[in-house]
Amino acid sequence: MRIGELAERAGTTTRTLRYYEARGLLPARRDANGYRDYDERDLRLLRQIRTLQDFGFDLEETRPFVECLRAGHPEGDSCPASLAVYRRKLDELDALIGELQAVRAQVGAQLARAERARDELAAEAAVPGGPEPECELGGRQ
């Protein structure tokens, strides 16, 4: 199949396919008249790349999966190098989750502090002659 058909079937652009070709992820086979020639294996490679990118893998991280498929394995993640990429990605995700949990805890603590301060101001305002609470925008509540 030609590059346009492959791009359409893979849900991408011919420009992207040329980029993958330049990066060595997609084979650069040419037929007798010089047109790029692709087959179902190439479509499978592209689907593997796109799936991994949808999961947050960068293009270079897809290389071991592509190489595994090119080596004739039925799945791109059945080779040791692919499994190593999965492990690294999980470690990266775990670190990000930890960072997000820490930020969430900080935001939760700030919210609790702000709510306590608001409640204290409201309690003081309920006492005759107490201060009237002000909104951050400068208006009275």
In contact, 131 and 124? CB cutoff 8 Å? yes
Residue 86's alpha-carbon distances to 45, 57, 94, 100, in angstroms, are 17, 9, 12, 21
Q: Where are the domains of the chain?
A: 3-126
In this prediction, the residues of the chain whose per-residue pLDDT falls under 70 are: 129-141
Q: How many CB atoms lie within 10 A of CB 5?
A: 12
User: What is the structure's pLDDT at 100?
Assistant: 97
In contact, 6 and 43? CB cutoff 8 Å? yes
User: What is the structure's pLDDT at 28?
Assistant: 81
- One DSSP character per residue, 61-102 reads GGHHHHHHHHTT-SSTTSSHHHHHHHHHHHHHHHHHHHHHHH
CATH tag for 3-126 (out of 3.65.10.10, 1.10.1660.10, 3.30.420.40, 2.40.50.100): 1.10.1660.10
User: What is the structure's pLDDT at 6?
Assistant: 95
Write down how long the chain is. 141
Task: Give the whole-angstrom CA distance, residue 58 versus residue 71.
Answer: 21
User: What is the structure's pLDDT at 20?
Assistant: 96
3-class state of residue 137 by DSSP:
coil
User: What is the structure's pLDDT at 124?
Assistant: 83
User: What is the structure's pLDDT at 126?
Assistant: 77
pTM of the model: 0.74
User: What is the structure's pLDDT at 52?
Assistant: 96
Assigned token pair, 109: 């603590």
